[in-house]
Amino acid sequence: MSIRRIVISFLAVIAMSGATLFGAVAGGAAVYAAAYSRLNAAPAGSSPQAIVAEPAASGGSTLNVDINSAVEDAAAKVGPAVVTVINDLGGGQRASGSGVFISADGYLVTNNHVVEGNQSLQVIYQDGATVDARLIGTDPYADIAVLKVAGQIPAYAAFGNSDVLRQGETVLAIGSPLGDFRNTVTVGVVSATGRALDTAANFQMTDLIQTDAAINHGNSGGPLVNLAGQIVGINTLVLRSSGTSSDQAEGLGFAIASNTVQATAQQLIEKGFVSHPYLGISWDSVTPDIAQRYRLGADWGVYVTTVSDDSPAAAAGLRKGDIITAVDDIHIDETHAFINTLWAHAAGESVTLTVVRDQQTLTLTATLAERPRS
């Protein structure tokens, strides 16, 4: 190669590098200018919001505010639907908890243990107004109670699908800790799902959501809320270290999954009691993310982890490792949770289960029993 060609090539490389550098600087300046403009547009006295660059559908990037606004929006959406529940035990004794309206006609859910032993019940709205409440029904096994008030209510909240909650997802707990701090909002994450705890009545509560959002006495019965402003759980208990324990337990709160709450509340509203159908399995939820991770044969359903002896599931031929994808003609998916679908049936009914086993689809028939009381 001649000296003349080498010089020309060298100059071309320098020109290309300069163009690339200029483009990078110009692009960075544009992002800085947009961020600077947004920060300066914030109201006086407000804190600057973090700027997050996300891929745009057409390429490039778009700027969005961080998670803070989503937390505020969810709290504002659900907060007016949350109440303080006052339990008059008689003899001058009172207890309190929290609750949340779930329908425009005045039905609200709380914990069974919040209303136990009541002589009368009242609820206090966010604005301080106090009204009488009537007990519709309770389910001590799910620790759910439904109350009803007359007249117009401030607001009500919608249920979300607890089966699609992900570990680390941001959630809010709203309630009245200690009975005095009405409509307090605390923020945390979903620490885990599918937890099981034994209760004092020798009943195991299953499919609980563990969260580190601060929960205290008085929060019981209040909602656990996702960033879409949906109820994903009803706060029920918190674990703390005992006086004799050397372990310090903090941030161990538990909520009843919204799919369980919704199915239970529907039966209490319709019948005043809950007749739990019993299949006799333990399971883990299957979602598309889990199915892809573990290369399962179905995107939605429940993975059978245990089958109880002498249960309807055993009689039907269900096995550990099976994936139930449908009950009758209802397919388990984002909007049709397994527990809701199963509890739409009564003890004594026969249901057709669509099952994936070893990449093959089977159809099994199970006759549901009454859930054991002990």
Instruction: Kindly name the residue from 96, 98, 113, 311 that is annotated as catalytic.
Output: 113
Catalytic residue, chosen from 96, 98, 162, 220, is 220
Residue 359's CB is within 10 A of a number of other CB atoms, namely 9
- Of these residues, 96, 98, 139, 143, which one is catalytic? 143
Q: Does residue 220 carry a catalytic annotation?
A: yes
Is 113 a catalytic site residue? yes
**Beta carbons of 369 and 347 less than 8 angstroms apart:** yes
Q: Minimal CA–CA distance to 307: which of 286, 327, 342, 279? A: 279
Beta strands 158-159; 230-238: pairing state? parallel
Residue matched to tokens 């505020």:
72
Residue 17: active-site member: no
How far is the C-alpha of 173 from the C-alpha of 117, rounded, in Å? Answer: 26
Q: Map the chain to HEC letters.
A: CCHHHHHHHHHHHHHHHHHHHHHHHHHHHHHHHHHHHHHHCCCCCCCCCCEEEEECCCCCEEEEECCHHHHHHHHHHHHHHEEEEEEEEECCEEEEEEEEECCCCCEEEECHHHHCCCCEEEEECCCCCEEEEEEEEEECCCCEEEEECCCCCCCCCEECCHHHCCCCCEEEEEECHHHCCCCEEEEEEEEEEEEEEECCCCCEEEEEEEECCCCCCCCCCCEEECCCCEEEEEEEEECCCCCCCCCCCCCCEEEEEHHHHHHHHHHHHHHCCCCCEECCEEEEEECHHHHHHHCCCCCCEEEEEEECCCCHHHHHCCCCCCEEEEECCEECECCECHHHHHCCCCCCCEEEEEEEECCEEEEEEEECEECCCC
Amino acid (1-letter code) at residue 278? Y
Residues involved in catalysis: 113, 143, 220
